C-alpha cells in the first residue's frame, strides 16, 4: 500500500512546507493470524510509553473482542489474556471488548460496552472496562458507585459502559455509557480495578439521550483545575463540563453556536493546548452538512481565551459528502515547534469509505494565519490502495523514536490493519548576513581590516540553527546559493566555491542554537558603478530532504516552515562620505581647434575637444548632453557618445567612474560648419554636465559661443554679353535688323554656407539716345527658376537704374540677371557718322542686407561693356552690282539643282517643317522672354534647333 499526502502550502514564500508525517516510511501491522476473518483490528489504538508497546483492539474478534499488544520494532502482536466467559447462552451477542482503549503512563484501559453481567438479581448487559498493568492480562473495574444505595434496581443499573473512554493526565479514568436510559458516565479517580467510581447520569443533568457518547479531560476553566467534558450528540447536541467529584461545573461559560438536529454535535471531543495554558476544546459533529448534502462533518473549535469561558472560535468543515469528518479527533502534540498542539482529524468514510486523516497545525486552527476555509490543513493522509475505514482508529505514540515528535497510528479496521507513521523532527534555520562597511574602502584598508580593501571585500553568510530538545543528535544538509546582480560590475571572487555551497548542519553540543557561517569574497572592479547598489540574493534550501526518503534516520531533521531561507539585500559600496550620494566636483574643458572668430566658408568641418576632470568624490555615472546651435555634429571619437537624430545633440556617458583627479577624455567632436549663414552670429555649444546621469534634474550648464564672420569674397559676379563684347556692324544692318543685346550677370555663392536676406543689387545702364530698352529690361532669376523681384527705380537721360533683391543665395542656385537692349534703327544714320559706340552696364551688390557687421571694404560690383564698331562701305558700286549678279546666278543654279533633287523629299517633309517652324516660333518667343544667352552657355542644347532654323529659312527663300 502507498500512502499519499497532500501538503497545504501555508505560505508560498516558503520553499519548504513541513510534512509532519512521513508517508514514505510508514510501518504496517496486520491482524495476526486472522487475516481471513474481519475482526476490526485497529478499531482503537493506544500506546504504553513505559513498555513501548502499541495496544490494538479487534472488537469483533471471536464474538467477544480481542486486544493485542504489539511491538513496533518487530511488528509482532500478541493477544492479551482475557478471562471473559459467556456464561449465559441467551446473551450470544458480541461483547465488543476493545471498543475503546486508552493508555496511561504504564497501563492501559480497554472496555467491552456490550459485556453481560451476572448478579444475584439477574443477567443483563452492563458493559465495563478492564485495566492491564502488565500487558499480559486484564482485570475488570467495579461498576458500583461509591456509597451507592443498595436498593437500586438491577435494571436501573443496566448500561453500555465503555463506548467512550478517556484517561486524564492525572490518571483518572472516565467511562461513558450512552446507550441505555439517558446515558451514564463513570469517573474512576485512580487506575485501580477495585476503585469504585463516581457516577453521573444524563437524567440528572437535563440530558435526554446519549449522555457520555464522548468524553475528554482538560484544564478548561483554569490551568490548575482538572475538568471533564461529556458530549451528548442527540438532537442539537450538547457538551457538559464536570469538575471534582463529578459535579457539573456551571461557572464555565460555554456558549454553543447554533447547531442542527442530527449533525451529532458532541460525537467526539478533543482537548488541546493551542491558545495558552488552559485547554481548548474541539467538538466533532460528523453528521453536519448543508441542506443538500449529508454527513460531510465538521469540527467546532472553542478557545480558552477569556477567563472562565470557552469561546466558539471557528468551524472546520469536512471536504466531501458522507466522509463523516470529525468522527475521531486526536491531539498529536506540537509537531512543528510552534509550542501549540497540533490536531489530527479523521474523515473515515471519505473517498467512498476508504477514509482520510487530516493534520491541522494549532496556529491554523486558531486562525492566526490567513483563514482559508475549509482546506487549511497541514497535511492530508489517505490510502491510495483500497483500505477502508482509514482513521476510524487513531492513536499517538509518545515519541517512540525519541526525535521530539509523536508518531501517529492510524487504524483501518475494515481491513484489519494499522499504520504507524513516523514524524519528522525539525530545526528552525534563520539565514542572515553581515556585511562590512564598504564606503571609504581605502581608509578601512589602512586600518588593516583584512575583510575589505579597495577591490575586494568579504562578508559572512550564516545559518542560525535552532535545534529542538529532541532528537539529541540532529543533522541536515542545506544548499546556499548566492547571486549578485545590479549594475555595479561587482562579482563573486570565487564563484566556484561560493556561488553554491553546501552546509552540513549537525547538532554536536547541547546548545540549542548554533551558527554556521561562511565568508564570501566579492570582487569590486575599480571601474564598477557603485552609485547603484550591489544586489545580493541569498537562498538556502534543504537538500537530501528526509521527507523524500523511504527509510529516514530519525535524527535527519526537516527545516521548519518558520525558517528564514531567503534574503535580498542592496549593499552600497560607493566610496563617498554619504551613503548613496557622492559629491563629485567635475569640470568640463572645451577647446576649439579652429581660429576665432571663425570665417564662414573657410572649411567644411572643424573639431572641438572635450575633457572632464573631477576634483571631488568619485563620479560613478557622469554624463554630458551637448547641444549645438548653427552647426551639426557629424562625428564623435569617443564610443561612449551618441549623436542625436537631429545631429544637433550629443550624449556622452562615462563608461568608468571618474575618481578624484581623474580625467574623462571625450576626445574630438567634429562639427559641420556649413550650416551657419550670414544671419548667424555664433555657433553656440550648450553642455549640460551631470555628476550623476540618474538624477537628470541636477546639472551644470556650460555655454560656449564661437563668433562667426563672413566676407563677401564668397560672392562672385561674372558678367558677359550675348554677342560678344565687340560687335561689328553697319548702318544698313542697324537699319534693317533689330539686334537684341544682352548683358548677363551671374551672381553665385562659392561656399556652402547660404547667404540669407539678399543679395540686393542694383543694375545701372546708360541711356544714350540711340539705345532702346524693352518694357522691363532687367530680368533676374535663380537657376532653379525662381524669379526675383526687380523694379526700375529711376530712368534719367544719363542712365537707368533697376534694383532687384533675392531672399537667399545658395551655392547650388546662382542668380542670373539679364539686361536687354537694342539700338534704335532710326538713329542709324546719325550713328554712321560715329566710328564706334559703347554700351555699358554695371551691377553692384549692397552688403548691408547680408551682413550686419562692419562693412567690408570689398566693393562687389561688376560691369559689362559692349562696343559696337560701325563699318563704312568703301567698295565701288559697280563691283557690288557685278558681285551681286554673279552671286544671284550662282544661287539660282544651286537652287535648281537642290530643288529638283529634294523636291520629293521636301514635299514629304513639308508638314514636318511647318511643325518645326511652329516649335521654333515658340522657342523664339520663349527665348526672348528668357535670356537667350543663358542657353548660349549650353550650346549642345541649342545648336540643333538653330541649324534647323537656318535650313528652313534657306529653303523658303
Ligand X SMILES: *[C@@H]1O[C@H](CO)[C@@H](O)[C@H](O)[C@H]1NC(C)=O
Give the footprint of ligand X on this chain (CB under 6 A).
1, 34, 37, 62, 385-388, 414-415, 660-661
Sheet with 238-242, side-by-side order of all strands: 214-218, 227-232, 238-242
Asked if residues 520 and 503 have their Cβ atoms less than 8 Å apart, the reply is no
Q: Within 10 Å of residue 732's Cβ, how many Cβ atoms?
A: 12
| Least Cβ distance, residue 39 to ligand X (angstroms) | 8
Parallel/antiparallel/unpaired status of strands 586-592 and 513-523: unpaired
Please name the residues in contact with 376: beta carbons below 8 A apart, sequence gap of 6 or more. Answer: 8, 316, 360, 364, 369
* Closest distance to ligand X from the beta carbon of 413 (Å): 10
- What are the Cα distances from residue 6, in Å, to 356, 420, 546, 558, 679? 11, 18, 16, 17, 84
**Complex with ligand X: residue 33 or 939, whichever CB lies closer:** 33
CB of 860 to ligand X, least distance (A): 56
Residue 351 CB, nearest distance to ligand X (Å)? 13
Name the residue nearer to ligand X (CB basis): 228 or 388: 388
Q: Grid coordinates in use for 911?
A: 508638314
Helix (H) or strand (E) holding 497: helix 495-498
**Minimum CB distance to ligand X smaller for 660 or for 760:** 660
Closer to ligand X at the Cβ: 464 or 659?
659
- The nearer residue to ligand X, 453 or 649, going by C-beta atoms, is 453
Shortest Cβ 652–ligand X spacing (Å): 23
- Whole-angstrom distance, CA of residue 621 vs CA of residue 815: 53
442: left (phi over 0), alpha (psi -120 to 50) or beta: alpha
Nearer to ligand X, 342 or 617 (CB): 617
Question: Largest Cα–Cα distance in the chain?
Answer: 197
Please identify, using beta-carbon distances, which residue of 386 and 886 lies nearer to ligand X: 386
Instruction: Identify the CA nearest to 376 among candidates 319, 449, 452.
Output: 319
C-alpha pair distances (Å), 524 with each of 448, 483, 491, 510, 530: 18, 15, 7, 41, 9
- Nearest to ligand X of 74, 661 (CB atom): 661
Whichever of 39 and 753 has its CB closer to ligand X, that residue is 39
* C-beta of 37 vs 512, nearer to ligand X: 37
Give the distance from CA 221 to its chain's centroid: 53
Q: In whole angstroms, how close is the CB of 261 to ligand X at the nearest point? A: 33
Distance CA 451, CA 851 (A): 70
Q: Which of 743, 741, 740, 726 is nearest to 835 (CA)?
A: 726
Residue 219 or 388 with smaller CB distance to ligand X? 388
| CB closer to ligand X out of 249 and 388 | 388
Q: How far is the CB of 615 from ligand X (least distance, A)?
A: 7
- C-beta of residue 235 within 8 angstroms of C-beta of residue 208: yes
Q: Which C-beta is closer to ligand X: that of 187 or that of 420?
A: 420
Q: Please, are residues 425 and 404 in contact by the beta-carbon 8 Å criterion?
A: yes
Cell of 373: 476555509
- Hey, which bits of 226-364 come out as E strands? 227-232, 238-242, 253-254, 268-272, 280-285, 298-306, 309-317, 328-333, 342-347, 356-360
> What's the closest the beta carbon of residue 388 comes to ligand X, in angstroms?
5
Residue (391 or 758) nearer to ligand X, CB: 391
- Written as nine digits, the cell of 942 is 541649342
Q: How far apart are CA 126 and CA 23, in angstroms?
A: 41
Distance in Å, CB of 2 to ligand X, minimum: 11
To ligand X, the closest distance from the beta carbon of 417 in angstroms equals: 8
Q: How far is the CB of 415 from ligand X (least distance, A)?
A: 4
Closest approach of ligand X to the CB of residue 585, in Å: 11
Asked whether the beta carbons of 346 and 391 are under 8 A apart, the reply is yes
Question: How far from the centroid of its chain's Cα atoms is residue 112's Cα?
Answer: 66
Shortest spacing between CB 443 and ligand X, in angstroms: 12
Instruction: Write out the three cell numbers for 113.
Output: 460496552
Distance, CA of 137 to chain centre: 69
Shortest Å, Cβ 577 to ligand X: 14
- What span, in angstroms and rounded, lies between the C-alpha atoms of 551 and 570? 42
Residues 173, 161 contacting (CB under 8 angstroms): no
* Cα–Cα nearest to 334, from 272, 282, 409, 379: 272
Amino acid at each position: 500500500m502507498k500512502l499519499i499526502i497532500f501538503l497545504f502550502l501555508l505560505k508560498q514564500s516558503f520553499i519548504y512546507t513541513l510534512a509532519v508525517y512521513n508517508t514514505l516510511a510508514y510501518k504496517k501491522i496486520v491482524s495476526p493470524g486472522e487475516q481471513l476473518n474481519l475482526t476490526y483490528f485497529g478499531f482503537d489504538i493506544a500506546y504504553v510509553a513505559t513498555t513501548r508497546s502499541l495496544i490494538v483492539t479487534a472488537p469483533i474478534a471471536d464474538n467477544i473482542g480481542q486486544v493485542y499488544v504489539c511491538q513496533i520494532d518487530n511488528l509482532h502482536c500478541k493477544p492479551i489474556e482475557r478471562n471473559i466467559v459467556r456464561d449465559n447462552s441467551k446473551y450470544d451477542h458480541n461483547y465488543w471488548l476493545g471498543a475503546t482503549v486508552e493508555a496511561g503512563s504504564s497501563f492501559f484501559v480497554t472496555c467491552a460496552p456490550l459485556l453481560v453481567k451476572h448478579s444475584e438479581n439477574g443477567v443483563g448487559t452492563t458493559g465495563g472496562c478492564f485495566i492491564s498493568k502488565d500487558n499480559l492480562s486484564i482485570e475488570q473495574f467495579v461498576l458500583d458507585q461509591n456509597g451507592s444505595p443498595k436498593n437500586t434496581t438491577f435494571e436501573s443499573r443496566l448500561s453500555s459502559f465503555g463506548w467512550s473512554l478517556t484517561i486524564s493526565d492525572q490518571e483518572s479514568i472516565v467511562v461513558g455509557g450512552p446507550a441505555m436510559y439517558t446515558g451514564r458516565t463513570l469517573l474512576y479517580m485512580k487506575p485501580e480495578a477495585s476503585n469504585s467510581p463516581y457516577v453521573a447520569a444524563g437524567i440528572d443533568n437535563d440530558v435526554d439521550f446519549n449522555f457520555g457518547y464522548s468524553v475528554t479531560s482538560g484544564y478548561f476553566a483554569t490551568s490548575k483545575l482538572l475538568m471533564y467534558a461529556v458530549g451528548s450528540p442527540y438532537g442539537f447536541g450538547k457538551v457538559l463540563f464536570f469538575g471534582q467529584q463529578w459535579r457539573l461545573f456551571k461557572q464555565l461559560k460555554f456558549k454553543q453556536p447554533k447547531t442542527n438536529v442530527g449533525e451529532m454535535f458532541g460525537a467526539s471531543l478533543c482537548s488541546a493546548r493551542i491558545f495558552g495554558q488552559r485547554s481548548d476544546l474541539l467538538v466533532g459533529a460528523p453528521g453536519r452538512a448543508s441542506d443538500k448534502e449529508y454527513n460531510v462533518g465538521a469540527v467546532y473549535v472553542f478557545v480558552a481565551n477569556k477567563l472562565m469561558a470557552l469561546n466558539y472560535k471557528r468551524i472546520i468543515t469536512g471536504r466531501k459528502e458522507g466522509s463523516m469528518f470529525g468522527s475521531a479527533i486526536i491531539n498529536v502534540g506540537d509537531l512543528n515547534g510552534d509550542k501549540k498542539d497540533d490536531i489530527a482529524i479523521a474523515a473515515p468514510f471519505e473517498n467512498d469509505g476508504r477514509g482520510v486523516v487530516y493534520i491541522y497545525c494549532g496556529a491554523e486552527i486558531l486562525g492566526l494565519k490567513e483563514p482559508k476555509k475549509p482546506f487549511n490543513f497541514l497535511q492530508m493522509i489517505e490510502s491510495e490502495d483500497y483500505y477502508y475505514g482509514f482513521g476510524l482508529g487513531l492513536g499517538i505514540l509518545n515519541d517512540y523514536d525519541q526525535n521530539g515528535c509523536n508518531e501517529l497510528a492510524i487504524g483501518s479496521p475494515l481491513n484489519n490493519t494499522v499504520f504507524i507513521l513516523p514524524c519528522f523532527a525539525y530545526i528552525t534555520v534563520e539565514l542572515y548576513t553581515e556585511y562590512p562597511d564598504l564606503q571609504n574602502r581605502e581608509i578601512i584598508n589602512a586600518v588593516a581590516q583584512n575583510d575589505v580593501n579597495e577591490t575586494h571585500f568579504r562578508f559572512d553568510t550564516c545559518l542560525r540553527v535552532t535545534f529542538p530538545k529532541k532528537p539529541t543528535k540532529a543533522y541536515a544538509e542545506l544548499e546556499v546559493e548566492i547571486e549578485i546582480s545590479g549594475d555595479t560590475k561587482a562579482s563573486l571572487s570565487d564563484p566556484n566555491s561560493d556561488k553554491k555551497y553546501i552546509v552540513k548542519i549537525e547538532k554536536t553540543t547541547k546548545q540549542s542554537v548554533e551558527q554556521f557561517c561562511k565568508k564570501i569574497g566579492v570582487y569590486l572592479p575599480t571601474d564598477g558603478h557603485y552609485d547603484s547598489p550591489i544586489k545580493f540574493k541569498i537562498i538556502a534550501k534543504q537538500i537530501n530532504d528526509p521527507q523524500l526518503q523511504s527509510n529516514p534516520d530519525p535524527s535527519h531533521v526537516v527545516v521548519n516552515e518558520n525558517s528564514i531561507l531567503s534574503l535580498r539585500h542592496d549593499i552600497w559600496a560607493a566610496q563617498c562620505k554619504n551613503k548613496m550620494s557622492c559629491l563629485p566636483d567635475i569640470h568640463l574643458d572645451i577647446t576649439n581647434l579652429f581660429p576665432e572668430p571663425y570665417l564662414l566658408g573657410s572649411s567644411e568641418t572643424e573639431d572641438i575637444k572635450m575633457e572632464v576632470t573631477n576634483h571631488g568624490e568619485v563620479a560613478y555615472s557622469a554624463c554630458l548632453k551637448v547641444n549645438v546651435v548653427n552647426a551639426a555634429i557629424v562625428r564623435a571619437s569617443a564610443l561612449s557618445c551618441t549623436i542625436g537624430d537631429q545631429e544637433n545633440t550629443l550624449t556622452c556617458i562615462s563608461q568608468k567612474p571618474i575618481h578624484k583627479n581623474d580625467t574623462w577624455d571625450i576626445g574630438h567632436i567634429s562639427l559641420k560648419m556649413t550650416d551657419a549663414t550670414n544671419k548667424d552670429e555664433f555657433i553656440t555649444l550648450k553642455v549640460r554636465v551631470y555628476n550623476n546621469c540618474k538624477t537628470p534634474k541636477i546639472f551644470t550648464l556650460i555655454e560656449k559661443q564661437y563668433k562667426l564672420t563672413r566676407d563677401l569674397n564668397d560672392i562672385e559676379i561674372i558678367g558677359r554679353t550675348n554677342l560678344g563684347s565687340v560687335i561689328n556692324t553697319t548702318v544698313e544692318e542697324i537699319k534693317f535688323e533689330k539686334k537684341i543685346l544682352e548683358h548677363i550677370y551671374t551672381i553665385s555663392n562659392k561656399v556652402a554656407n547660404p547667404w540669407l536676406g539678399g543679395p540686393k543689387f542694383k543694375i545701372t545702364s546708360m541711356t544714350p539716345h540711340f539705345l532702346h530698352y524693352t518694357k522691363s529690361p532687367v530680368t533676374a532669376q535663380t537657376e532653379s527658376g525662381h524669379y526675383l523681384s526687380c523694379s526700375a527705380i529711376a530712368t534719367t537721360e544719363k542712365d537707368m537704374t533697376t534694383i532687384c533683391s533675392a531672399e537667399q543665395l545658395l551655392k547650388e542656385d546662382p542668380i542670373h540677371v539679364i539686361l536687354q537692349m537694342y539700338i534704335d534703327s532710326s538713329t542709324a544714320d546719325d550713328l554712321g557718322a560715329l566710328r564706334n559706340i559703347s554700351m555699358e552696364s554695371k551691377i553692384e551688390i549692397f552688403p548691408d542686407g547680408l551682413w550686419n557687421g562692419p562693412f567690408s571694404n570689398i566693393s562687389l560690383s561688376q560691369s559689362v561693356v559692349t562696343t559696337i564698331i560701325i563699318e563704312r562701305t568703301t567698295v565701288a558700286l559697280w563691283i557690288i552690282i557685278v558681285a551681286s549678279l554673279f552671286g544671284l546666278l550662282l544661287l539660282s543654279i544651286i537652287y535648281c539643282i537642290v530643288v529638283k533633287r529634294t523636291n520629293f523629299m521636301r514635299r514629304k517633309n513639308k508638314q514636318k517643317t511647318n511643325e518645326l517652324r511652329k516649335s521654333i516660333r515658340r522657342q523664339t518667343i520663349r527665348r526672348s522672354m528668357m535670356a537667350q544667352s543663358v542657353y548660349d552657355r549650353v550650346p549642345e542644347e541649342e545648336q540643333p534647333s538653330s541649324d534647323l532654323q537656318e535650313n528652313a529659312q534657306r529653303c523658303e527663300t
